[in-house]
Structure 1
Amino acid sequence: MLPITLLLAAAAAAFAPSVVARTPALVPPQGDGIATLAPDSDVRWVPFDLTPGNQIRFTLTLDARSLVAILDTGVSHSVLARKSAAADPARITDGGKATAIGGAVPIGWLPTARLSLGGLTRTGGGVTVADLPALATGSATPVDILVGRDIVAGQALDIDFANHRFRLLPSGQLPFAGALAPLSVSPTRRVYESSATIAGRRVAPLVLDTGDGAALTLSEPTWRAVRPNGLPTTTTISFGLAGAVTSTLAILPRLSIGERVAREVEVRVEPEGGFSEQIGVAGRIGSGFLQHYRVLLDPSAGRMVLQPGPDADVPPLRSTSGLLVGMEQGRLKVLHVMRDSPAAMTGWAAGDMICTIDGAAIPADYARSALADWSIAPPGTIVRLGLCGGALRSLTTRRFY
């Protein structure tokens, strides 16, 4: 795939490396290594930034190398990028496959000596090795490693989204008050899992997936069981390790996770036979939802704690144009045209290239500029988009889902 920076200002595509099911023959008996926490782990905060795909990006040290990482509780065993400087080809054992969003991906195994992350040190063990394309992790620049269940699940994980930091604590601590929800590590899938209530129905298991940039993702059978009558839907696109997936998109009026009731939650519905069905779960709760809270994840204590942030009850952004675009070499490339949208009604197609918006060229900092707001403009706004081939198209925004 081309190195495209996806722009998320208008309910655009989410990124979801998600669950990686290891091939057991590749992993030695002590594959998880031995993790220990420093006595002062409570003050060893790890700073992070959020990628364009809502993923928690930070640095750690692996075998004396500083690596760029993503915190991904939806990965059963941490994944090192094959192109990372830490991936020594001579020491990688290949031969397995893993289930990932978009299909299966080939994997290998690399033994490691020492990994350091905040107040945690892991000795021994190893990491899965796979291709980590930049697009699958939400940025134009690829990361080195996805930090998964094998490294963090033995501790409590305190994620302070408002201050862009997290820390690892001994299990059982309760550093702040909030709504309680169930949390465990699946003995078979070996990832964080929880549950929710939608339309009066309990939905479980749901993978609690900090590596997934969406808010809530459901399997098609689960959606059929809980979908509110008359709820309008459209389509969107998501990216996983194995490629792109087109999903149904809607705004769910109400969602309960444990004691927390959330309203107007964006939900994506996978195609029939999609990733969630393949691994036997109802869906995933992602960082698109979690980022509005301070979150404590403590599977050993059987709980998650959600403390609402100032924007926890703010409705999600909705596209009013129907064009999901990515930045490519100073232009905007249409990645997906949302079903029943203004763009779908006016002849747009994936692959179209946009060079101007209302006469203005696409700036290098487009994603952070006010110009990017055209795709979520108030209904009735007329936007004039200049194609790179010279044609000019007008699009009138409206609410369509």
Structure 2
Amino acid sequence: MLALLAPAVALVQPQVATVLAPDTEARWVDFQLTPYNQIRFPIELDGHTAWAILDTGLSDSIVTSAFARTAGLAPTRRQRAMAIGGGVEVAWAGTRSVRFGGLIRSGGRIGISDPAGGIRFGADVLVGADILSCCALDIDYDSRRFRILSSGRMPFTGSTAPLRRRSPNGVYQSEVTLRDTVLRPIIVDTGDGGALTLSRAAWASTGYRDARITTTLGWGMGGAVVTDTLVTPAFALAGLAPHEAEIRIEGDGGFSAMVGAAGRLGTGMLQRYRVLLDPRAGRMILQPGKAIAAPVLRSTSGLLVEFTGKALRVVHVMRGSPAAAGAWQAGDEICAADGIPVTEDVRDGAIEWTIGAPGRTVRIELCDGSARSLTLAGFY
């Protein structure tokens, strides 16, 4: 999850010019979805190529310090800024050009910062609303591609929700409906891998009382964030029929509340649609995609893991889960399950047995040579 506020002290923005190529509508950019549900694509910045994340929840575009050194970006000032997971330090440098798809931005500035705990997202550039808001953004999740269009274009039909840039930080914002309660403002955050994250106050305003709630883990620029989480059948977007959705609930003083938002709408939800984001025209258009009716994948193990290349490292144990009952802990490392090495079991970032059928018992071999059994169950 990535969303960075603009610095508290205003900086003079170098002169910026953004142009679109005459054939920009034909210049689709192929992308990958990372294991954390971010949109990852190639970009050119000051003549250097890199992997980037498309992040409408980020006020100012960011590069890592390693890329800044490679590209010869010279920071001129450092400031503290607020991000999901905590505060971060951002340095600022002028840029000559940013290019992807049919967009060319000349001049302007770029932030230099590193995610807490290292680079988890497989990219050195985070492209934020400062660059994207010039234009309309057409994201075709089913085909894993996007393109940059002139504002006002409407390349497909669908349902419409309001969309504007949030003052003073400029991130995208809209609204959603949960159990007949309209929640606004909701930050539309393509850099957030979750579906819908709400402040505790926004969640309380819905009057929802009958859900089974557990916990989950996400990452922001400022570090890891643990939130409550549940699955609801009553989520609606842009006047479309309600469907099942995973909701994360931030604790008191969470990021959404701190920035005056009811919550954030992320790629975990947006990927169910083809999406047009056009803040200058004041609209978000959604056309249901192939995954619109897909059920939410729920953990039945309670183990949230990440692949290190050799093992599965447990990064969070979900509250009330079989793993919690079995005294699993963050940091445990798994080398095999049911006799299959994890290096052979990882497919497109998914670990099948962690979301397997309730009642199944999995024999898990830890990398320290010990073994445990874990019986899967539905718990949220």
With normalisation by structure 2, the TM-score equals 0.95
- Higher relative contact order, structure no. (Cα contacts within 8 Å, ≥ 6 residues apart): 1
Letter in 2 for 1:300: R
Give the structure 2 partner of residue 29 of structure 1.
Answer: 13
Deviations 1:146-186 (A, max 9, x none): 10111110211101111111111111111001111110001
Kindly indicate whether the alpha-carbon contact (under 8 Å) linking 1:180 and 1:260 is maintained by their aligned counterparts in 2. no
Deviations 1:311-331 (A, max 9, x none): 111111000110111122511
Specify every segment of 5 or more residues in structure 2 that has no aligned partner in the other structure, as ranges.
none
Alignment equivalent of 1:76, drawn from 55, 59, 77? 59
Alignment equivalent of 2:236, drawn from 250, 256, 261? 256
The offset of 1:90, in angstroms, is 6.8
The offset of 1:39, in angstroms, is 1.7
Task: Please state if 1:392 is matched with 2:359.
Answer: no
Give the structure 1 partner of residue 127 of structure 2.
Answer: 147
Task: Please state if 1:327 is matched with 2:311.
Answer: no
Moved over 3 A (4+): 85-90, 132-138, 367-370
Give the structure 2 partner of residue 342 of structure 1.
Answer: 322
Task: Please state if 1:192 is matched with 2:172.
Answer: yes
Aligned identity (percent) is 44
Q: 1:152 to 1:90 in 2, by over 3 A?
A: closer
Which whole-Å CA distance do the structure 1 matches of 2:47 and 2:279 have between them?
Answer: 29
Task: Please state if 1:157 is matched with 2:137.
Answer: yes
- The range that moved more, 259-268 or 100-109, is 259-268
Any idea what SS the aligned residue of 1:162 has? coil
Task: Please state if 1:211 is matched with 2:196.
Answer: no
Give the structure 1 partner of residue 102 of structure 2.
Answer: 119
**Count of aligned pairs between the two proteins:** 380
Any idea what SS the aligned residue of 2:280 has? helix
Give the structure 2 partner of residue 7 of structure 1.
Answer: none
Alignment equivalent of 1:277, drawn from 244, 251, 257? 257
Give the structure 2 partner of residue 4 of structure 1.
Answer: none
Any idea what SS the aligned residue of 2:359 has? coil
The offset of 1:24, in angstroms, is 3.5
The offset of 1:118, in angstroms, is 1.1
The offset of 1:389, in angstroms, is 2.3
Give the structure 2 partner of residue 300 of structure 1.
Answer: 280
Specify every segment of 5 or more residues in structure 1 that has no aligned partner in the other structure, as ranges.
1-15
Give the structure 1 partner of residue 27 of structure 2.
Answer: 44
Any idea what SS the aligned residue of 2:343 has? coil
Give the structure 2 partner of residue 108 of structure 1.
Answer: 91
Deviations 1:312-364 (A, max 9, x none): 11111000110111122511111111011111111111111212201222215
Which whole-Å CA distance do the structure 1 matches of 2:272 and 2:134 have between them?
Answer: 24
The offset of 1:88, in angstroms, is 5.6
Any idea what SS the aligned residue of 2:258 has? helix
Give the structure 1 partner of residue 45 of structure 2.
Answer: 62
Q: 1:107 to 1:48 in 2, by over 3 A?
A: same
Which whole-Å CA distance do the structure 1 matches of 2:319 and 2:164 have between them?
Answer: 37
With normalisation by structure 1, the TM-score equals 0.90
- The range that moved more, 304-313 or 128-137, is 128-137
